[in-house]
Amino acid sequence: MPLYPQDRDTGFDITRLNHLHLDVTDLAESRRFYEEFVGLVVTEATDDAVYLRGIEEIQHHSLVLHRAADAAVGRTGFRVAAPEDLDRLAEHFRARDLPTRFVDLPAQGRTLQVSDPQGVPVEFIAAMPVVGTRREVLDYTRKVGAAPPRFDHLQIRVPDADSAVEFWAGLGFHTSEAATATGDADEPLQVAFLERKGNANDIVFSQGPGPKLHHFAFVVHDAPVTMLHLLDTAHTHGFKTNVEYGPNRHSIGTETTMNLRDPDGHRVELLSHPYFVDADEPTLLWSFADPLAAVSLWGAEPELSWFTETSPMRGVRAREPETPTPMPGAPVQRVSHAG
């Protein structure tokens, strides 16, 4: 049975996805892409790193670009409710013989760095410096590009989606939606949306060679108009060929989305605001076998690159799945609600 119940008595409280560290080969060009084209706000920049955030985020950063010889994903970052949750989480990972250490990082302070059983490098923090105010939302001169208000989720491809979902359910994550090859709950999971913050997802696991990052996503206001505006400006900024796919509408999740590739090929998704979800909602189970829904409800499916190209995790060897993996963009059908 691949639909794993959420542990609601973990002893610690992970509140949401918080940030992402990316390694990039041309820091100046990557900064231009995310600041001038996508429209994120630069909080701080050094010779080797740029810290960015959404226009409605008042914490120091939600995306960090690090200068590197080759492109990769550094770590995904989550926030916990209180400092003592970091110690309880560390105990949880150590009890399972998983890599665990504490470090002190700029603008994050005491940071718990771990790896999950799939090898995904993750870090947890309890606080981050406040660098803005909510009043800044009224400063419309700050709104350039897509002007994303906030970081929303990321999708990671893993060789064993069932094991990944089972482990993260044990961290207190609730599975909002999931899909198997034919909608049979006893089949291996192909994709699952897990959440902590009360909307459709904080982290998505999809079956395939990994662990690798498929995409990370920022929410945008007035999505269709914003996305068309971004398409109009892509050529002006020199990023016309960085538009990979969209605008389109997903079935699983229901958002309007558009996918971009940054100068190193990291995939960033812009999406409309996801729906809210309550923790007691049953998992919505889908099938890859029926055309009721698909990666896009508007027109053709994405190019093959959308399914096969991902970003490597720094220092982590990717593994092939042991079971066959249907094309994740195959048409899907709503089958049932499963608890």
Q: Considering only CA atoms, which of 314, 263, 306 is closest in space to residue 35?
A: 263
| Residue ranges making up the domain that contains 143 | 14-312
On whether the CB atoms of residues 141 and 303 are closer than 8 A, the answer is: no
Please give the pLDDT value at position 64. 99
Please give the pLDDT value at position 329. 47
Residue 28, SS3? helix
Q: Is residue 5 part of a domain?
A: no
Q: Is residue 325 part of a domain?
A: no
Q: Is residue 333 part of a domain?
A: no
The tokens for 165 are 């979902």
Q: Is residue 317 part of a domain?
A: no
Count of other CB atoms within 10 angstroms of residue 176: 26
Count of other CB atoms within 10 angstroms of residue 63: 24
- H-run or E-run covering 307: helix 304-308
Q: Is residue 150 part of a domain?
A: yes
Domain total in the chain: 1
Q: Is residue 77 part of a domain?
A: yes
- CATH number for the domain that contains residue 184: 3.10.180.10
What's the burial of 85, exposed, middle or buried (CB within 10 Å: 0-12/13-18/19+)?
Answer: buried
**Separation between Cα atoms, residue 231 and residue 223, nearest integer Å:** 12
Q: Is residue 328 part of a domain?
A: no
pLDDT digit string (tens) for the chain, length 339 residues: 447 999 999 999 999 999 999 999 999 999 999 999 999 999 999 999 999 999 999 999 999 999 999 999 999 999 999 999 999 999 999 999 999 999 999 999 999 999 999 999 999 999 999 998 888 888 888 899 999 999 999 999 999 999 999 999 999 999 999 998 888 888 999 999 999 999 999 999 999 999 999 999 999 999 999 999 999 999 999 999 999 998 988 777 678 999 999 999 999 999 999 999 998 889 999 888 766 656 777 777 788 889 899 999 999 999 999 876 665 444 333 344 343
DSSP letter for each residue of 67-103: E-SS-EEEEEEEEESSHHHHHHHHHHHHTTT--EEEE
pTM over 0.85: yes
DSSP letter for each residue of 213-238: EEEEEEE-SSHHHHHHHHHHHHHHHT
Q: Is residue 274 part of a domain?
A: yes
Please give the pLDDT value at position 332. 37
